[in-house]
Structure 1
């Protein structure tokens, strides 16, 4: 949950009229719609941090909303505690509990060395050899039934702290780990890190997935460390799938984290942003053959690490995410029987008897950039006429020694087939990473050109690219040209 980068467009249609129950703002849980390769009821962890909070705070005025809209839902169990002697039992106890009620558990593996590039969720195994030992123990706890494994969030999208040799070593380690899990339980559904739609381009992320052995996995996951709208994520996922198919890798599917993408998109941290909302309730019935599930991988209410300890449950954050969201529908696959649509008096926690001991490895998922603050500073290039383009800049995040910027490129009165944006860096600035564009720098001069998938824009149409940079944030003068 820290060092990361970074909207919502369309809801997925159901295969039949009765396939989907829709709600305002895009929240929905499908009924009998066809989906990807998964079906069944997602397991709701009775010992999650939010369930324990609900049980311990029956008189808190926020409790009914948090209980009914968050604690009632399936959320991933984060396995991030590097302990070779306990990992098998930690995984096995969680999976066995789900198997006992014929439900599908979702858990992560989050122990890759140099995790989070030393950010708020730093940690992991001390080296790759010990990581493989940890994975071996993890695999032994998976049982033989369907289980969803979200493997190493940000391990592929965030590699700026690794040398080229270290990138290759990490890729090989993840590829080996996937094969270890699949060999132990062929019914395990394993998904690799796909970043999110406002971070790396689909072709860049696709190439990283190929290098890390996605051919051995079931697909990839997106949006765990950000809040991008569902429509953006689905379009991005289709682009990655198309990239993989172009390289002879077929049958791979996407899962999307919808735990916090029902509101505004932007910088990475939800700790101090009240515009976030829970998104689609978790379900395996997506109605989209490319998408295996809408999951709550990052548990709503658990901090990103900018204002509170990464992974700690904060009731204020949970309430902010849930207060204006619709209630889960009656009959929701993961809704607790005790969840009510208008309960205002305290009642029992969704868990029958949640344990008082901490759940295994409920650490934070990573997030998408570094900044705890975002002070917009828009700048627009000179407008364009027919066949021209314009570019608007905004600083979306700042931190000591760096900042994150976002550029919106807009076509003029006529369609365009390509664009180029240029500007001059201020003293002490340098670009450290850029996504959704091709970067060239020469001294202080910056040139960003479109990629293959975002160059063609209809009249008035727009696209975005973003970047992180070292130095103090300034508002550059942008120039946008076409040819």
Structure 2
């Protein structure tokens, strides 16, 4: 079995979760002194922890993202494309806390808003009588992305790095989240993308082997879960890679075992995790409409045995989340565990999108002509040419009842680079990665070219050419006049 991540990809209503929630009761009349009456201002009551953090809520629109989109609009002459960008500017996206400086914002973080600034903005966007949910990506693990170069972080894979992660990163984030004035904001957290999946499949890499043998990844994730889960209005979602990484039955089984061990090592066990999120920063479609049966035989072979799928029966994220949820529940997780899919860049619209299944009787031709995922290999992950925006963010998407979806989200803000194939000096711990070089032939990806767009900046930096392409190739197409998800504030 070929694991594309190891070789090429360094990167409906349910029962209440039953989490014990501490509701804050304000003191109505706290008196000071015998003679008279200083009355304390009541504290804002925390909203009850609900089953789905996104259900019925306004989703937070990040002003920093809107500013990046405005910059692209100013560089775009096509009026139709400009109009679509104007609409995308108002879509909700996650905020990445990808280094300690991101918590504090300002000049040390490229002028972006601080964590507290974002929560203040979320309160400003909150509509009367309606909850608001802001999503943050917790992403500064010691030795982060052990199988990658493009997104290595600032903290070393050492006990000293773990100490700093706990004290200077997680503790500071938690201290902001639990401030009384933010109790009315539902705070969704995506915890450490790529961390646990790397421990499942990539331990042949020396850095990943050390991450596992040292226990640092596991201890860091457990610490983050304990601290975040303790805040009643915070919701935790563990990253669970994508179907092209963990979709094989053996990989998924190992992932469920590891995730269960990690969760059981927290104070609240599996209930410290509200759900899992898949396809973060990836391109795997929600569904392959013309490839619905992995076991179908074409030209003497099953579709899943094609070169593109490599015996992986998980063709898309709806299949993967369905199977992952089923296996987690069988392992003792609550049936109410929710699933989220990052749909920011998995739309695959544009002229190359097939409109019908192939009629070829040759297996690989049949798959190539039928699949909406236009990559040459599923392990190609960096600034992929031809990709498009996917489904807009929304809660409880219908059509996939067995997937137990809490939401479609844009976890990866579309337009932010996956990485660069060039040497770019920086103080963010990020290096060039050959998978981001369009001229590189990837031996672990079927000896295909990477398919990466040229001229990309560092991971997380704005990439105008990519953003323009994503908007042009959106599927569904960006509508002419979509309703703004939330009032944009600056």
SS at 1:156 equivalent: helix
Task: Name 2:343's counterpart in structure 1.
Answer: 258
Distance 2:244 2:193 in 1: 16
Distance 1:90 1:334 in 2: 22
Q: 1:5 to 1:194 in 2, by over 3 A?
A: farther
TM-score (norm 2): 0.57
SS at 1:60 equivalent: coil
Pick the aligned partner of 1:76 from 83, 94, 117: 94
Q: How does 1:21-420 map to 2 (within 5 A)?
A: 36=52, 38-39=54-55, 40-48=57-65, 51-55=67-71, 57-58=73-74, 60-62=76-78, 64-65=82-83, 67-83=85-101, 86=104, 90-102=114-126, 103-117=132-146, 118-126=148-156, 127-133=161-167, 134-142=169-177, 143-144=182-183, 145-159=185-199, 160=202, 161-163=207-209, 165-166=212-213, 168-183=215-230, 185-200=231-246, 201-213=251-263, 214-231=270-287, 232-250=316-334, 251-263=336-348, 264=373, 265=375, 266-271=378-383, 273-287=384-398, 290-305=404-419, 306=436, 307=454, 308=456, 309-325=458-474, 326-328=477-479, 330=481, 332=483, 334=485, 354=490
Q: 1:115 to 1:334 in 2, by over 3 A?
A: same
Give how far 1:42 is off.
0.8
My pick for the range that moved more, 190-199 or 93-102, is 93-102
My pick for the range that moved more, 230-239 or 60-69, is 60-69
Q: 1:215 to 1:274 in 2, by over 3 A?
A: same
CA deviation vs aligned residue, 1:429-452 (integer Å, no higher than 9, x gap)? xxxxxxxxxxxxxxxxxxxxxxxx
Distance 1:53 1:38 in 2: 24
Q: 1:86 to 1:314 in 2, by over 3 A?
A: closer
Distance 1:279 1:4 in 2: 26
SS at 2:164 equivalent: helix
Distance 1:303 1:248 in 2: 38
CA deviation vs aligned residue, 1:116-139 (integer Å, no higher than 9, x gap)? 125101114341111111101101
CA deviation vs aligned residue, 1:244-266 (integer Å, no higher than 9, x gap)? 21121112111100001111253
Instruction: Give ranges in structure 2 of 5+ residues lacking alignment.
Output: 13-50, 107-112, 127-131, 264-269, 288-315, 349-372, 420-435, 437-453
TM-score (norm 1): 0.58
Distance 1:327 1:121 in 2: 30
Distance 2:484 2:273 in 1: 26
SS at 1:105 equivalent: strand
Contact 1:128 1:173 in 2 (8 A): yes
SS at 1:146 equivalent: strand
Contact 2:347 2:389 in 1 (8 A): yes
